[in-house]
Structure 1
């Protein structure tokens, strides 16, 4: 089972604590517990989650959970699982419009929630690749428009303050995108791209040379330091012939 980063949107303190404990026992990380619409949007912006559990009734918020989920999805693509004690038909129909991964009625069993989370994220990943015919390209916000780039042409991405520099095979100067690297990284498939550090995402297809503490990308003479915390995981992703 994947270990996921999960946002909990729940205004009942006891329920929120129970959910957090349940998720952490299952090996997941709770990125935040949000009680209101504004707290939820801030949490998504600060640390985009892999999945969100959303209570539909948020007593202390001007917007309910459905409206909150709709706005969160505009900021960040992810599966949504609604948690609610309301089985009202109209509420359910409104929730359906946001295309949730699941709709669980309280009280629910811990095992049920864990299974729904695993299924939701699995189908989200499958649908992302199967339903997107342009998955090998991106349209990036450049010069007051959107410019098409091929993922296979991206050498690496580097965070630069409030910007991300995107280095391409066929371009001498990198693109500068006003965006958080954590958010942008979700559009680059993990099959080819590796998050070397908080500020670097590299295309493994262009990894030319590997040394103990450094690596080299094709076309770039400057060595890139390998963080000690990333080296073991990087080596797992590569086919390395070792000396006896």
Structure 2
């Protein structure tokens, strides 16, 4: 792990540097004021920042933390002699991973760093926030067959038909049998591509080869499917005619 130290007291910065080295981490830089620290952060891209709040120069540690988080979300642990509530509340707005009061205890700092690493890792593993309700692979269904989920690409579905309490879903190569209603499946299909042509049939309009208006049949993949009389006009009106 690469650590950036931002501390204007040489005694504390030396102690921190020695302590981090003993833990087996690497110090990428030590800065006493905000602008230098910001440049070091941009060039070294550390995994963690240990930061005092009172710094030399115009920027406070809180100001610097805001700048850093605007560039890249990085764990920051404040180490400060300021224990008043107002400073703590201002520091909280930057989302720090820890807030330690000087003089710090080495064991406490070590635990704070370990917890910060653990928290950062758990946040990194979940890269999509609030995506649980978003459907995956919208161009395909996954059909359960025993202990497997079999992918069926929606654009390869030729037609769907009702058979007793089941529906059969046909592709060029095989048939899938599902225990659900035709209406439930229709709600998951794109109505600009799929159309109901019979009370028991839904077809993929892009797969239609021809329509026999006298015999009331639709040919798909060299197979004839029925065309209900009450569905005929609605189908024809929606087709692009020449």
Normalising by the smaller structure, the TM-score range is 0.5 to 0.7
| Unmatched tracts of structure 1, length 5 or more | 136-244
Within 5 Å, which residues of 2 pair with 1:84-103? 84-103=80-99
| Unmatched tracts of structure 2, length 5 or more | 132-242
- Which contiguous aligned blocks of 4+ residues in structure 1 show a shift greater than 2 angstroms? 128-135
Contact in 2 for aligned 1:8/1:53 (Cα 8 Å): yes
1:130 is displaced (CA, Å) by: 2.8
Q: Distance in 2 between matches of 1:76 and 1:7?
A: 14
Within 5 Å, which residues of 2 pair with 1:128-139? 128-130=124-126, 132-133=128-129
Secondary structure of 1:43 counterpart = helix
Structure 2 residue 33 is the aligned partner of structure 1 residue 64: no
Contact in 2 for aligned 1:54/1:80 (Cα 8 Å): yes
Of the candidates 10, 17, 22, which is equivalent to residue 20 of structure 1? 17
Of the candidates 57, 65, 72, which is equivalent to residue 76 of structure 1? 72
Correspondence for 1:116: 112
Correspondence for 1:10: 7
1:134 is displaced (CA, Å) by: 8.4
* Pair member with larger Rg: 2
Structure 2 residue 103 is the aligned partner of structure 1 residue 107: yes
1:131 is displaced (CA, Å) by: 6.2
Aligned residues: 131
Contact in 2 for aligned 1:44/1:76 (Cα 8 Å): no
TM-score normalised by structure 2 residue count:
0.52
TM-score normalised by structure 1 residue count:
0.52
**CA deviation string 1:162-205 (max 9, x = no partner):** xxxxxxxxxxxxxxxxxxxxxxxxxxxxxxxxxxxxxxxxxxxx
Within 5 Å, which residues of 2 pair with 1:10-49? 10-49=7-46
**CA deviation string 1:84-109 (max 9, x = no partner):** 11111110000000010000011111
